[in-house]
């Protein structure tokens, strides 16, 4: 794409990240371009697998049924919880990523949204232990993605664990890791349910310059059975605007930045 066309296409993608769905006319008004230019850009974006066009509307590509798990409704059901909140969190997370960054993404529905917010970006290296996040980027020719390998933890989770996943992280370092959780507590830190997943996520944390937790407000103040890392390891928490202000203050007292969207 020519620089001007590329900039316009990125504006279109940014609008779709915020709205989820739009139409040619609205996009043209929003980005101050002609409908004909927007249509040409959408054709190119569709060819790259970044958008879907149906009956006059356009939306970001990515929400799909992964063939190996088409009979398992667990992940889609979890995706439907706090959908708007997760999208806002993902957009804020993606804006923290700079060109040239190497980032890690943990498994989870919120980190999947982060991945979708990065699909149009170039010049970054993404490492993940989530099969579905790898699949999000599989059709993009310029994507640089590394899967940790490992064993699938349980159907519908897409999470790879075990010695292979753990060992692969020993040779990698990250500018940022974006990590989901079952709970994030000011005193007990970031926790999950499965101990084998906690080992892999804990290793991501150890190898990252910045640890950024992405979680809807229902997760804050909660903790589960297995710790991934202490609160002191967290650099930033990105959450939604339903979070209790006292909870925000509790994390800030622990020197953790809290971004509310």
pLDDT digits (tens, 9 = 90+) for 185-223: 999 999 999 999 999 999 999 999 999 999 999 999 999
Residues 79, 101: Cα–Cα separation, whole Å: 27
Which residue, 186, 8, 218, 13, is CA-closest to 110?
218
| CB neighbourhood size of 80 (10 A) | 10
Query: What would the two tokens of residue 204 be?
Result: 């991501």
pLDDT at 70 over 60: no
Q: What is the DSSP letter of 159?
A: B
Write the DSSP string, 40-99: HHHHHHHHTTSEEEETTEEEES-----GGGTT--HHHHHHTTTHHHHHHHHHHHHTT--T
SS3 185: strand
* End-to-end Cα spacing for the chain: 32
The fraction of the chain above a pLDDT of 70, given in percent, is: 88
Q: What pLDDT score does 81 carry? A: 67
Instruction: Dump pLDDT digits (tens) for 2-55.
Output: 666 677 888 888 788 777 788 999 998 999 999 889 888 888 888 777 788 887
121-136 average pLDDT score: 93
Query: How many CA atoms are closer than 13 Å to the CA of 44, on its beta-carbon side?
Result: 16
Strands (E), 86-132: 102-105, 125-128
For residue 157, give the DSSP letter.
T
Could you give the strand order of the β-sheet that contains 189-192, starting from the edge strand earlier in sequence?
A: 183-185, 189-192, 226-229
pLDDT at res. 17: 73
Question: What tokens were used for 172?
Answer: 């990698």
pLDDT at position 154 over 60? yes
* In contact, 124 and 101? CB cutoff 8 Å: yes
pLDDT beyond 80 at 74: no
Residue 64 pLDDT grade (very low, low, confident, very high; cuts 50, 70, 90)? very low
Ordered structural domains, the chain, with CATH:
3-60 (1.10.10.10), 67-260 (3.40.50.1360)
Q: Which two tokens stand for residue 225?
A: 């059975």
Q: How far apart are CA 245 and CA 250, in angstroms?
A: 9
Answer yes or no: is pLDDT of 65 > 50.
no
């Amino acid at each position: 794409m020519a620089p001007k066309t590329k900039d316009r296409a990125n504006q279109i993608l940014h609008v779709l990240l915020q709205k989820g769905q739009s139409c040619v006319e609205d996009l043209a008004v929003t980005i101050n371009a002609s409908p004909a230019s927007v249509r040409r850009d959408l054709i190119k974006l569709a060819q790259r697998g970044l958008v879907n066009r149906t009956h006059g509307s356009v939306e970001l590509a990515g929400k799909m049924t992964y063939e190996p798990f088409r009979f398992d409704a667990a992940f889609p059901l979890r995706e439907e919880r706090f959908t708007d909140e997760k999208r806002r969190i993902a957009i804020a997370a993606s804006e923290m990523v700079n060109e040239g960054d190497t980032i890690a993404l943990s498994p989870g529905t919120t980190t999947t949204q982060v991945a979708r917010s990065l699909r149009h970006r170039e010049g970054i290296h993404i490492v993940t232990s989530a099969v579905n996040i790898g699949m999000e980027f599989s059709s993009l020719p310029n994507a640089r993605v590394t899967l940790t390998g490992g064993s699938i933890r349980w159907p519908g989770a897409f999470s790879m664990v075990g010695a292979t996943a753990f060992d692969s992280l020993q040779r990698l370092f990250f500018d940022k890791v974006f990590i989901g959780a079952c709970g994030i507590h000011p005193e007990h830190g970031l926790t999950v349910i499965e101990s084998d997943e906690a080992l892999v996520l804990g290793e991501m944390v150890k190898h990252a310059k910045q640890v950024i937790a992405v979680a809807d407000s229902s997760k804050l103040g909660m903790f589960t059975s297995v710790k991934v890392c202490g609160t002191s390891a967290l650099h930033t928490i990105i959450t939604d605007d339903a979070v209790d202000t006292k909870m925000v203050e509790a994390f800030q007292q622990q020197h953790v930045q809290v971004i509310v969207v």
